[in-house]
Amino acid sequence: MERGGALQAAYLEQQTKLWTALLAGRNESLVDDDDRRFAAREWRENPYFNYLRQSYLLAAKYLEQMVEGAPLEATQKERARFAARQWIDAMCPANFPATNPVALRQALDTKGESLTRGLANLVTDAQRGRISQTDEGAFELGKNLATTPGEVVFENDLMQLIQYRARTDEVAKRPLVMIPPCINKYYILDLQPENSLVGYAVDQGNTVFMVSWRNVGPEQGHFVWDDYLEHGVSTALRIAQQIAKSDKVNALGFCVGGTLLGAALAVNAAKGEEPVASTTLLAAMLDFSETGQIGLFVDEASVAAREAAIGKSGILAGAELAFVFSSLRANDLIWPYVVNNYLLGGKPAAFDLLYWNADSTNLPGPMYCYYVRNTYLENKLRVPGALANCGVPVDLGKVKLPMFALATREDHIVPWRSAYRTLHLLGGEDKTFVLGASGHIAGVVNPASKHRRSHWTGTPYPQDPDAWLAHAKEHKGSWWPRWSKWLAQHDGGRRKAPARTGNTKHKPIEAAPGRYVRHRIVH
């Protein structure tokens, strides 16, 4: 109580100084900031806007301090922090036309035309059911996104399997099968030629297969977790192995795709099957003890409500998940576009990552409910025998494959320390962990040709992730070449590149990127 009173007294004193300065017509500087929301000169040169800026920043700091000082247990405090941050971000004076000097100047300079455009943008986005983050007319799948040449060589009611054409004279005997997240479209791994991990892997001499998950509708609302393992991951591994006529395949899982791959590999181990030679996990969690802010949305009551509504059949709308992910970074993914699109009447720039981000996918209710309860809520996947998938007990410790795991340091979806814990969940001795710079997407989609950002490596791998980081070595540039060199150790040798995709049993159905990925949610 004493600390709260002292904070309140200090806050009121600073606000009084600001108000007094405003009445006197002078600029008072109590807060130093480099907040990009207040980059315009009016926020500092004009006494009124300077007051708004500093008063807001003081209030934000005060609210944060009150939350930090509140006697709450850890989970409650995290939720309070998140709620406070959402309110703080929303109430920024830059978000409102009457208190944004740039918006007011723009309205005057254009004689109100910017406001008219902004209102039209608002109406259009309301009809879409989302805030436009990029110029969606600038992109088309198969034209300037997802352009790596290939064909769909297999499909079922849950996924299509794409095989990409060889671009080298020789290829690895063992193909590389990529399992992307089912909560997003696969082409995050095949955006444009200059930043396509698929294209890079093909150019390194790999026969690459990609799972393209179906954007499910009500008719697929009955799919369960085991369907994704059996008819998704395991089927993709088997078909790729058959087409390549290889003893085994190398498998890669990204985000939730990595979680699915880990569970599928545990099923294989329990059945005594060995179709996979090595596994690559990119920003993926198998231990959900530290889930970051996403975990704040998950509790027993919310999961039980979902189970009652869609636990047996139905779908979770992709727009809901997209909004949750955007809320985690509201100052990057929501409010800048509110200001630009509606207050300034602007048009968002063309950006491939944000086009992909807006291309939401639905999930079957039973699959989603099982996933959230057994990972985020109860964290059972890491416990040997706590779950049974495809009729066998799941024990990640029995998965004894060479593993390459990548985490990214600023990942707000998969905290890197959680991804690091995979090292001690899976069995086997041949393990490599790399920590990339940046976040969940930019840290993964980091082309070698750009030579941007850094990554960290080092052994041994103690239980404590921070103990590992303290002795890890930083390397400039992308992690892609390091991974490619590692993957080549498990390629099974080389062979002449196939002249075409598919085989006599699995003939090409259509050109990549295929029908499933083109299905967009229409509001």
Contact (Cβ atoms closer than 8 angstroms) between residue 170 and residue 495? yes
Neighbouring residues of 445: CB distance < 8 A, sequence distance ≥ 6: 188, 189, 191, 195, 197, 353
Give the three-class secondary structure for 268. helix
Neighbouring residues of 455: CB distance < 8 A, sequence distance ≥ 6: 434, 435, 436, 437, 474, 475, 477, 478, 479, 482
β-strands 473-476, 494-496 pairing: unpaired
Local structure of residue 498 (DSSP, 8 states): P
Record the tokens describing residue 278, joined without a space. Answer: 């090595």
Record the tokens describing residue 369, joined without a space. Answer: 């409910």
Distances (CA, A) of 511 to 313, 501, 517: 32, 10, 12
Active site residue 255: yes
Identify whether 460 is preceded by a cis peptide bond (ω within 30 of 0): yes
Record the tokens describing residue 106, joined without a space. Answer: 């723009």
d(CA 518, CA 355): 13
Q: In this structure, how many other beta carbons lie within 10 angstroms of the beta carbon of residue 358?
A: 19
- The HSE-up count of residue 379 (CA atoms within 13 Å, CB side) is 10
Neighbouring residues of 302: CB distance < 8 A, sequence distance ≥ 6: none
Nearest Cα neighbor of 65 from 5, 13, 19 is 5
Q: Catalytic residue among 92, 182, 255, 390, which?
A: 255
Q: What's at 439, amino acid-wise?
A: G
Looking at the DSSP assignment, which residues form a beta bridge with residue 212? 160
Looking at the DSSP assignment, which residues form a beta bridge with residue 210? 162, 178
Q: Distance between alpha carbon 353 and the CA centroid of its chain, in Å? A: 11
Record the tokens describing residue 120, joined without a space. Answer: 């039209």
480 CB burial (10 A radius; 0-12, 13-18, 19+): buried
Q: In this structure, how many other beta carbons lie within 10 angstroms of the beta carbon of residue 182?
A: 29
Give the three-class secondary structure for 363. strand
CA angle (233 as vertex; 292, 429 as ends), nearest 5: 70
Record the tokens describing residue 150, joined without a space. Answer: 């290939």
Contact (Cβ atoms closer than 8 angstroms) between residue 17 and residue 30? yes
- The HSE-up count of residue 333 (CA atoms within 13 Å, CB side) is 16
Place of tokens 């390194």: 204
Give the three-class secondary structure for 504. coil
Record the tokens describing residue 297, joined without a space. Answer: 């949305």
Give the catalytic positions in this structure.
Answer: 255
